[in-house]
Amino acid sequence: MGQPILVQRRVQGDIAMFSGDRSLTGQDGARYFAADGVPDNGKLSAAVAKEFFDLDPEIDYVYVAYNHVMARRAGGWDEDLLEAADEALNRFFVFYDGEIDVPIGGAGSGVALAPPGAVTGLSDETMEALRTEHYNATISYLDEVHEDLWIFRVRPDDGPLAYQAGQYTTLALGFWEPRIDELTEDLDDAQRRKLARRSYSVSSSMLAENGSLLDPAEEAAAEFYVVLVRSDSQGTPAVLTPRLFLKGEGDRLFIGRKAAGRYRLDRFDDPTADVVFLSTGTGEAPNNRMTLDLLRRGHQGRIVGVCTTRYLRDLAYLETHGRLAERYDNYEYIPLTTREPENEGNKIYIQDLIESAKLEEMGFALDPERTHVYLCGNPLMIGLPEWDGDTPTYPETRGVVEILTERGFTLDHGRTIGNIHIEEYW
C-alpha cells in the first residue's frame, strides 16, 4: 500500500512552498527554469521540477532543496493547482508492495493495477457535482482519425484561449472519470476527486471548409491533436488519455486559461528565413498552427513540414498539407512512415533525412545563416544534450540537435536565442 509523504504548504503571492517529510536533494539544492527545459539527468529534483512544469504552463521556476520545493507561478495559485502539486509530490514517495512493479516518480507512477473491488467508486451524483465544480470547457468538435488518434476542439466557457502559435496549455479530466481500458487504479477517495492534468500544444486544421486559410481570430475553440497512450515505456498505465478517449462532442473537461512555451515564431523576425518544421506523431500539432500563421502573413522564405509516424493512417493532416503544398509555391510537406510493409529494411528517421542530404536535394540548404528549425515530439528524435556549464553531452541515440549543431546551428536554450527550437512531449 502507499506511504504518502506528509506535505505542508505555504503560498505567498506567486510563490508556493511545499515541505515534505523526506529529502529530495543534497544540501546544494537545484534550480530549474521552465524556459531552459529540464535536463534528463536522472536526478530526483529534475523529475520533481518536470512534474511541476507539466502541471501548469504558468509555472516557470522550481527550486528544490532538502525536503522543500519552491515553485513560482505568474498569477498565483488556486486550490485545485495546489492539490495537484501536493499530489504530484506524493507520487514520488508512494511505494507499492506485492507483485506490481511501479517506478518511483514520473507521470502516472501512483497508478497501478489493483485487484477488482479494491477501488472505491463514486456515485453518479458525486461525479456530476465534481464535473460542475471543476470543468470549464466543452468538446465542441471531434474527428476520430482512428480509434487511437483524435483531432478535437475545446471551447472554453469564458471566451477563446489566449495563446501564440506554437504554445501549449493544460487539459484535464477528473481521476473519477472511467477509463477506456478498464484498468483499476490504486486511488483513494481523495485522489479520485482530483484532476489529472497534462500539457497539449494547440494545433490547427489550417484550411476552412471553403478551402481558404483559417482565421484564428474567428475560432471560439482551440484545436488539439492527441494520441491514446495506454502505458509508458515501463508499462505503467497512462493517466489522462485513457479517460479522454471515452469522451465525445458536448462532453465537458478542464482547460488551463493560460498558454505557455517559447516554441513560437517570434524567436526570429526575418520574413525571408527558411523554416523547417520536424515532428514525430502528434508533435505535428504546434507546427501546423505555426505553418498557418506563416502562410497567413505571406512568409517569403521557404517552409517545409516533415512528420514521421508509424503508419500512414497516423498522418491525420496529410491531405491538408498536400492541398497547401499545391497552393503555395514556398511550402512542401514530407510525410514519413516507419512501420508500413514498405518500410521493412527501409526505415527513414528524420535524422537520416537530414544526414542523407535529401532535404538539400529538395532545395532546403539547411544553412544556419538563413534557416530556423523547429523540432517537436519524441525526445529521442530531438536529442537534447545535458549541459555541464557550456559543454553539452549528447544522448547515445543521435538526435537532430546534435546533427544540426555540428553544422553550425545553435540551440534556442536558456538566454541564447538560437535557430533550433524544440518542444519535447515527454
Please give the residues from 307 up to 326 whose contact with ligand NAP meets the rule CB under 6 A.
308-311, 314
423 binds ligand FAD (CB under 6 A): yes
Residue nearest to ligand NAP (CB): 281
Of 17-25, 127-135, 238-246, 318-326, which part binds ligand FAD (CB under 6 A)? 238-246
* Residue 323: alpha-carbon gap to chain centroid: 27
Minimum distance from CB of 224 to ligand FAD (Å)?
6
419 binds ligand NAP (CB under 6 A): no
Question: Can you tell me which of 25, 45, 138, 201 binds ligand FAD, judged by CB under 6 A?
Answer: 201
Burial letters for 31-51: b for 16+ Cβ neighbours within 10 Å, e otherwise? ebbbeebbbeeebebbbbbbb
281 binds ligand FAD (CB under 6 A): yes
Q: In this complex, which beta carbon is closest to ligand NAP, that of residue 51 or of residue 284? A: 284
Minimum distance from CB of 158 to ligand FAD (Å)?
23
Minimum distance from CB of 350 to ligand NAP (Å)?
6
238 binds ligand FAD (CB under 6 A): yes
Q: In this complex, which beta carbon is closest to ligand NAP, that of residue 32 or of residue 349? A: 349
Place of cell 517570434: 266
8 Å CB contact between 332 and 324 = no
Q: In this complex, which beta carbon is closest to ligand NAP, that of residue 25 or of residue 236? A: 236
Of 27-35, 239-247, 250-258, 303-311, which part binds ligand FAD (CB under 6 A)? 239-247
Minimum distance from CB of 56 to ligand FAD (Å)?
11
CA–CA dist 280, 347 (Å, integer): 14
Of 116-124, 196-204, 205-213, 349-357, which part binds ligand NAP (CB under 6 A)? 349-357
Say how many residues touch ligand NAP, by CB under 6 A: 22
245 binds ligand FAD (CB under 6 A): no
Cα→Cα distances 137→40, 128, 131, 386, Å: 34, 15, 11, 38
CA angle 282, 286, 288 (to 5 degrees): 90
Question: Can you tell me which of 16, 165, 229, 273 binds ligand FAD, judged by CB under 6 A?
Answer: 229
Residue type, 98: G
7 binds ligand NAP (CB under 6 A): no
148 binds ligand NAP (CB under 6 A): yes
- What the block records as the C-alpha cell of 285 is 500539432
Q: Which of 109, 104, 19 is nearest to 64 (CA)?
A: 19
CA–CA dist 1, 95 (Å, integer): 7
Of 74-82, 197-205, 318-326, 342-350, which part binds ligand FAD (CB under 6 A)? 197-205
306 binds ligand FAD (CB under 6 A): no
Of 13-21, 168-176, 189-197, 303-311, which part binds ligand NAP (CB under 6 A)? 303-311
Strand order in the sheet with 137-146: 195-201, 168-174, 252-255, 137-146, 149-156, 222-227
Please give the residues from 342 up to 401 whose contact with ligand FAD meets the rule CB under 6 A.
none
Q: In this complex, which beta carbon is closest to ligand FAD, that of residue 274 or of residue 423? A: 423
Partner interacting with residue 225 (select from ligand NAP, ligand FAD, none; CB below 5-8 Å by kind)? ligand FAD
Please give the residues from 32 up to 71 whose contact with ligand NAP meets the rule CB under 6 A.
none
Binding mask 224-263 for ligand NAP (x = CB under 6 A): ---xxxx---------------------------------
Partner interacting with residue 107 (select from ligand NAP, ligand FAD, none; CB below 5-8 Å by kind)? ligand FAD
38 Cβ contact partners less than 8 Å away, ≥ 6 residues apart: 32, 46, 49, 50, 53
CA–CA dist 292, 207 (Å, integer): 9
Minimum distance from CB of 300 to ligand FAD (Å)?
28
Under the rule (CB under 6 A), what is the footprint of ligand FAD? 54, 107-108, 168, 198-201, 224-227, 229, 232-233, 238-241, 281-282, 285, 423, 425-426
